[in-house]
Chains A and B, each alone.
Chain A
Amino acid sequence: MSAISTPAEPRRTPLHRLHRQLGAKMVPFAGWEMPVEYAGIVAEHLAVRTRAGLFDVSHMGEILVAGPHALELVQHVTSNDAARLKCGQAQYSGLMTAEGTFVDDLLVHKLGDEQYLLVVNAANLDADLEHLRANNPMAAEVRDLSPEYAQIALQGPLALEIIKPFSPAPLATIPYYWFIQDRFLGFEALLARTGYTGEDGFEIYLAPEHAEAAWNALMEAGRERGLLPCGLGARNTLRLEAAMALYGHEINRQTTPWEANLGWICKLEKAEFLGRERLARLRQQPLQRKLIGLEMIEPGIARDGYPLFHCGRQVGQVTSGSPGPFVQRNIALGYAPVELATPGVELQVAIRARHARARVVPLPFYKRAPKP
């Protein structure tokens, strides 16, 4: 067995003590000490697909862009069209380099005409802030609000039922990717119908000092309905089944939205933005490579970085891979030449000393059934 090393002094979320009490296995992640699993990744994953799961995602970064030039800055640095947002609406987007590649992926929440809350990856928070400040000739206000927010995600088909009693807000009527600022357990909170699991659910942003009370209230209300505390392990397998990109894996500073199946968050028709020129040019050319979904035919699990072969030649590599606990297949995302990115094509994954057969399949691996 190989040892896992721990860097010095990781940061702790306001729920750290609770995770310990719950017997979570804690791991270093993006400079934080985070729960990776409690009861086990498979049990947690299945709880979210069939009932509900509760995640501490307080490590995520929150950045406020404010002032009369707020929209102008958001439009300048992100690929999606924030001008289309109404107050109370959220949008998945990309924070772009001048080359049209990803500094980060993020959620943009329109709080008001002059206020946008950006929710970013913990590992990229510093780089994102630097990027925003370096590309802000319009002098919009940019403020790191991360220390002022804990974030708890309640995900799964029972999420609405579990959360409803704790807020006077009409949560049942909030559409997917909309949010509401209202009381939760009597505390000020932002309640967003968003998530990173492929299920219905809410992401709750509130002051760190209320995080424990919020977590306990939800756990208490959900326990007999089968709600489980869930760690980053299940968060990763859930997002993989739903084929949602993970920064540093499917997307990075070398990836364009066109390759990553993220053309839908790249609105060339909006006004100028960083990378637009190159992205418009690339749009006119045939794609070289494309993100694909793979399902293992032979035993074995494709992992991040494993090479992909076709006819004895290396043609790409895996960006994320794991067993899919709900779909019950070994699945992976990776990049392959466009001519091989067709469902049904067979590739081989180099798993240590051997090559295991895998099939290109349509994405996502899992899609929740529409509400009756």
Chain B
Amino acid sequence: MSYPKNYRYTAEHEWVAAPENGRARIGITDYAQHALGDIVFVELPAAGAHLEAGQPLGTVESVKAVSEVFAPVSGTVTAVNTSLSAHPELINQDPHAGAWMVEVQLDDAAPLDKLMDATRYEAFIAEEQTGKA
């Protein structure tokens, strides 16, 4: 699966879509969903919650394990993808689009530039994979 060019990525395998009117969607990457395996449960914050960059925003559970999802940027949650509670498997099927988790009103757009672009992220996961092989 390809990594959208206009997204930004973290070393913890979250993505942030390009903001529109200061709002951006957040999700986890294809690499992350693959590493987790069958995803069966998702816990997300409520709309209105304030997220701090680097702090847990929720959890994703696969059959075998629980993983925290960290907020890649700071901001206030404006929308939550409620379809994930009934269909967490969407994260396995469509991690970069349909399975967005939350939309946030960014406190500040500048920190986005500190995150990886698609090219750097792909190099980063290639390195992680060889490290494990």
Residue ranges of A at the interface with B (Cβ–Cβ < 8 Å)? 1-2, 4, 6, 25, 36-37, 40-42, 233, 236-237, 299-301, 303, 322-323, 325, 352
Q: How far is the CA of A17 from the CA of B61 in the complex (A)?
A: 29
Contact of B67 among A1, A36, A299, A323 (CB under 8 A): A1
Determine whether the beta carbon of B63 is less than 8 Å from that of A25.
no
Chain B residue contacts of A6, Cβ below 8 A: 131-132
- The list of the 4 closest CB pairs from A to B, nearest first, reads A1-B13, A41-B63, A1-B12, A42-B38
B59 on the A face (CB < 8 A): yes
Interface 1/0s, chain B 43-85, versus A by CB < 8 A?
A: 0000000000000000101111011111000000000000001
Chain A residue contacts of B69, Cβ below 8 A: 1
Chain B residue contacts of A40, Cβ below 8 A: 37-38
Q: A1-B28, A1-B35, A233-B64 are in contact. Are A301 and B12 (CB under 8 A)?
A: no
Q: A42-B63, A301-B61, A322-B64 are in contact. Are A1 and B41 (CB under 8 A)?
A: no
Question: Would you list 13 pairs from A and B whose C-beta atoms are within 8 A, ordered by A residue?
Answer: A1-B12, A1-B13, A1-B35, A1-B68, A36-B37, A36-B64, A40-B37, A42-B63, A299-B85, A301-B40, A301-B61, A322-B64, A323-B63
Q: How far is the CB of B100 from chain A (nearest CB, A)?
A: 16
Contact of B66 among A4, A236, A301, A325 (CB under 8 A): A301
Chain B residue contacts of A236, Cβ below 8 A: 64
Determine whether the beta carbon of A233 is less than 8 Å from that of B59.
no
Contact of A352 among B14, B32, B59 (CB under 8 A): B59
Determine whether the beta carbon of B41 is less than 8 Å from that of A2.
no
Determine whether the beta carbon of A37 is less than 8 Å from that of B37.
yes
